[in-house]
Amino acid sequence: MYDIVATPKRTKEIITRHGFSFKKSLGQNFLIDGNILTAIVAAAELDKTKGVLEIGPGIGALTQRLTTEAGKVTAVELDQRLIPILQEVLEGEEHVRVVHGDVLKLDLKELFEQQFSDVSGVSVVANLPYYVTTPILMKLLEERLPLEHIVVMIQKEVAQRMAAKPGGKDYGSLSVAVQYYCETSIVCHVPHTVFIPQPNVDSAVIKLSLRSKPAVDVQDERMFFRIVQASFAQRRKTLANNLTVVVGKDRREALNELLHRLDIEPSRRGETLSLEEFGRLTEGLQNTGW
């Protein structure tokens, strides 16, 4: 087994020896704290029957730990310069595969079929590049990949928005989108001091556990998300005012009547509505022909 990568000394040694320079544009902040790795890996509930997709392995700090816990690990790294470093750090680990590529462009369904046909479940575990956190997570969720958990380190504010409940300033269309597919919990907060180089923001580890079916049952998912987007479009406007943009000004009266019938007060703001209420609203609008 290669020396532990996630220490300040070892990380500096590896990057100096390989002449590696960090690219801020790729969100390269490498973890140097073993306790945070322990918290991430524990949250992922791994064992030797499980597979893991890691996105952005960097120099392998987390990958190394994942290989000791999971039966199969596939790590997708965009930066070609990191591939030889990963090969060195992971040498001799038969059940790890490093893929050079952009996770946003990869055919993940195909990758899952190729890599994870013989495991009992797959989770995504990663310290994500912050500049593409939301597109990566939405890709994982919208493609309906057969995932158990997604345990990721992301910017603290984004984690808070994803896990937020109705009524607060953090609750928005991102909260609804993520909670439609997953149960959410914040695993831990992470200071910026445990990375090389240190990012300008604090981080958090969030755990998303995939639901067996979406949180609400709607006939038309696209319409559900359109209504959610519209309801949060202008946060200071009432729900009825925001929805008028969708249904048209001439139907404002009918909209108010429908909202009353659905037991949703038109003067409420979008940020107070639960997922269940957004679902009821979608079905109500659909059934009245909007």
34: left (phi over 0), alpha (psi -120 to 50) or beta: alpha
Which residue in 51, 57, 172, 279 binds ligand SAM (CB under 6 A)?
57
Mark the segment that binds ligand SAM (CB under 6 A) among 71-79, 110-118, 240-248, 282-290. Answer: 71-79
Residue 265 labelled as part of a binding site: no
Residue 102 labelled as part of a binding site: yes
What would the two tokens of residue 122 be? 């797959």
Measured CA to CA, the distance from residue 236 to residue 217 in angstroms comes to 28
Q: How far is CA 81 from CA 18, 27, 132, 253, in A?
A: 9, 14, 20, 61
Which three-class secondary structure string do you get for 154-202?
A: EEHHHHHHHHCCCCCCCCCHHHHHHHHHEEEEEEEEECHHHEECCCCCC
Residue 77 labelled as part of a binding site: yes
Measured CA to CA, the distance from residue 205 to residue 66 in angstroms comes to 16
Asked whether the beta carbons of 42 and 188 are under 8 A apart, the reply is no
Residue 110 labelled as part of a binding site: no
Question: Which residue minimizes CB distance to ligand SAM?
Answer: 56
Residue 202 labelled as part of a binding site: no
279 sits near ligand SAM (criterion: CB under 6 A): no
Query: What residues does 205 pair with on adjacent strands?
Result: 153, 188
Which residue in 66, 132, 206, 240 binds ligand SAM (CB under 6 A)?
132
134 sits near ligand SAM (criterion: CB under 6 A): no
Mark the segment that binds ligand SAM (CB under 6 A) among 20-28, 142-150, 155-163, 208-216. Answer: 20-28
89 sits near ligand SAM (criterion: CB under 6 A): no
Mark the segment that binds ligand SAM (CB under 6 A) among 14-22, 78-86, 234-242, 245-253. Answer: 78-86
Binding residues for S-adenosyl-L-methionine: 29, 31, 56, 77, 102, 127
Residues found near ligand SAM in the complex (CB under 6 A): 26-31, 55-58, 61-62, 76-79, 82, 102-104, 127, 129, 132
